[in-house]
Chains A and B, each alone.
Chain A
C-alpha cells in the first residue's frame, strides 16, 4: 500500500515537473537558442532597440507598433489594432515560436523590404523580451 502510494507520488511529481516544464519554458528563449545554434554569436538588446527605431527608407517598426512597446499600436495602413509587444503588459507575446517567425518574415519584408538576418532577429527578440 505504502509502495503504491509512494509510486503514485513519484509519478505525480514527475508529471508535475513535465507539465511545469512545458508550461513555463519560454518559446522566445527556445527560438533565441535556435538562432545561436545557427551561427549568431551573441544577441544584443541594444542593437535590437536600435533596429526597432531605425528608419528604413520611410518605414519603421514603430509606425505600426507605436513608440513604446508597452502601449498598443495601430497599423499605419489598415488601422488594425495591435496589442502591446511588451511581455510585461501582454502575457501572450512571444509565447509561440511559429507566430514569432511568421511575423518576423512578414514585417521585415514589409518594413525593411527584405528578410531580417538571424542576428537582427536575435537582437530584436532579446530586446523585446526585456520590455
Chain B
C-alpha cells in the first residue's frame, strides 16, 4: 500500500514538473514569435506556398498591407472575392489564414496610417495608398496596358516580394523609373 502511494506521488510530481516545463517553454516560444513579427513583418519574403496559392490570380500581397481583421473578413468571404470565386480547399485555407493573420500589419504602420475603417478590404482604397500614388497619371496606371489596375503593384514596384515599395525600385512600364 505504502509503495503504491509513494509511486502515485512520484507520478503526480513528475507530471507537474513536465507540464511546468512544457508551459514554460511554450511561453518562451510565443514571446520569441511576437518579437520576430514586429521586426520581420516588412522584411520577410513571401513563402512559396502562399505565393502559389494566392498568386495564381493576382500578386500574392504581403500580409503586412492589411490588418488581421481585414484578412479574417477577406478569408471568410472567398466565395465572393471581388466578383470572382477564390475559395480554397480546407487545408490550404487554414494555412493561408494562419500566415496572413500572423504576419498582418498594424494600424498606423506603413500603408495602414490614417485608416478610416477598422477592417478595410481594398489595399488600393487605403488613404495612405492613395496619397502615395496621387501624383501618377491614368496613362501611367489604369490606362497603361502593362499595368491595367492599381492592384498590380508589381507592374511598377520591383521590390514587392519584400513588401518594401522603395521609390528607387519603381519602374513604370513605358515611363521608366519614378523621380519624385
Contacts and interface: CB of A to CB of B under 8 A. Distances in A.
A105 B57 contact: no
Contacts of A98: 89, 92
A56 to B, nearest CB: 14
Given A79-B148, A80-B57, A107 B89 contact: no
A101 B89 CA distance: 8
A77 interface: yes
The contact size tier of chain B is: 10 to 19
A107 B85 CA distance: 7
Interface residues of A, number: 13
A102 B92 CA distance: 10
B7 to A, nearest CB: 50
B85 A110 contact: yes
Contacts of A80: 57-58
Given A79-B148, A102-B92, A109 B87 contact: yes
A50 to B, nearest CB: 22
B135 interface: no
A78 interface: yes
B151 to A, nearest CB: 9
Contacts of A106: 84-87
A61 to B, nearest CB: 13
Contact of A78 (B57, B79, B88, B92): B57
Contacts of B79: 109
A121 to B, nearest CB: 14
Interface centre among A79, A98, A109, A110 (most CB of B within 10 A): A110
Contacts of A78: 57-58, 82-84
Interface in B63-101: 79, 82-89, 92
A109 B87 CA distance: 10
A25 to B, nearest CB: 21
B119 to A, nearest CB: 23
Contacts of B89: 98, 101-102, 105
Nearest to A78: B84
12 contacts: A75-B57, A77-B83, A80-B58, A98-B89, A98-B92, A102-B87, A102-B92, A105-B87, A106-B84, A106-B87, A109-B79, A110-B85
Interface of B: 57-58, 79, 82-89, 92, 148
- The 8 A-B residue pairs whose C-beta atoms are closest, nearest first, are A110-B85, A106-B85, A109-B85, A77-B83, A102-B89, A106-B87, A105-B87, A80-B57
Given A98-B92, A107-B85, 20 more contacts: A75-B57, A75-B84, A77-B84, A78-B57, A78-B58, A80-B58, A98-B89, A101-B89, A102-B87, A102-B88, A102-B89, A105-B85, A105-B87, A105-B89, A106-B84, A106-B85, A106-B86, A106-B87, A109-B85, A109-B87
